[in-house]
Structure 1
Amino acid sequence: MKVLPVLLAALLAVDPACSLVCFSCKDQKSNFYCLKPTVCSDSDNYCVTMSASAGIGNMVDLGRTLNKGCSPICPGASIDLGVVAMGTHCCQSFLCNISAAGGGPQVSATVLGLGVLLSLLAALLRPSL
């Protein structure tokens, strides 16, 4: 009978290998539809949130797409090409990708205005033929 308590203590001391659990969704417009928990495979080490957006500051919103899920690697850093941007966020704990990664970066109206001003200036200073 003394074997049973020793065996029970040994089993309780062993930390079972648990798979990572992440929220997942594909091509959603809102984080509300991205709250489905998914058990990741043993090879997945990261919960990933990727958001792509297009727009000009707060003035013009051309849309946003949100993807969440499990990944064996953390994909590359965020990319901002002016009016189109893609934000990536990786984490490694239970349901850690609950947020929408800030909605992705967008170019500010100031940067856009400066670009337009420089384009006009270049056109005005160009010699006429």
Structure 2
Amino acid sequence: MKVFLAVLLAALLYVERAHSLMCFSCTNQKSNWYCLKPTICSDSDNYCVTVSAAAGIGNAVNFGYSLNKGCSPICPGPSVDIGVASVGTHCCQSFLCNFSAADGGLRASTALLALGLLLSLLPALLRPGP
């Protein structure tokens, strides 16, 4: 079991070097919590994209918010803010880099993701055998 977990961890550390990009994906969500589904992109996809759209007038009137994430062969146009409505676009090109809902916000690096996985598997790796 320990060998299997170690091999799994090593494989996950080197996934970024594979040809296929992996991005988080979701469609028309209100929260980033529902946008953490990993998806393997096609070979033609070069970008992980996060697009957030919001409309409203200050804090008084809120017309809604929508968050979309996924894979794309191109990086869509720039962010736009016209006062009562805005569309934020963020593109990146590494393993699960579209972690955050914020444009240019927190991004999880491969090393950080691997460290988290290792720490979560540590009790199983250190458990004495039968």
Task: Note whether the superposition's TM-score is higher than 0.5.
Answer: yes
The CA distance in 1 between the partners of 2:18 and 2:94, in whole Å, is 14
Residue 43 of structure 2 corresponds to: 42
Q: Is the 8 A contact 1:88 1:101 kept in 2?
A: no
Residue 6 of structure 1 corresponds to: none
- Stretches of structure 2 lacking an aligned partner (at least 5 in a row): 1-16, 104-130
The 3-state SS of whatever aligns with 1:32 is helix
The CA distance in 2 between the partners of 1:91 and 1:17, in whole Å, is 16
The 3-state SS of whatever aligns with 1:101 is coil
Q: Is the 8 A contact 1:50 1:101 kept in 2?
A: no
Residue 55 of structure 2 corresponds to: 54
Q: Is the 8 A contact 1:52 1:86 kept in 2?
A: yes
Note the alpha carbon deviations across 1:4-49, whole angstroms, 9 max, x for none.
xxxxxxxxxxxx6431000000011111100000000011000000
Q: Does 1:66 align with 2:67?
A: yes
Task: Give percent identity, aligned residues only.
Answer: 75
Residue 82 of structure 1 corresponds to: 83
**Deviation of the 1:61 alpha carbon:** 2.3
Q: Residue type of the partner of 2:68?
A: N
Count of residues paired in the alignment: 87
Residue 33 of structure 2 corresponds to: 32
TM-score, with structure 2 as normaliser: 0.63
The 3-state SS of whatever aligns with 2:59 is coil
The CA distance in 1 between the partners of 2:42 and 2:26, in whole Å, is 16
The CA distance in 1 between the partners of 2:88 and 2:75, in whole Å, is 12
**Deviation of the 1:75 alpha carbon:** 0.3
The CA distance in 2 between the partners of 1:99 and 1:56, in whole Å, is 24
Residue 96 of structure 1 corresponds to: 97
- Stretches of structure 1 lacking an aligned partner (at least 5 in a row): 1-15, 103-129
Moved beyond 4 Å, runs of 4+: none
The 3-state SS of whatever aligns with 1:77 is coil
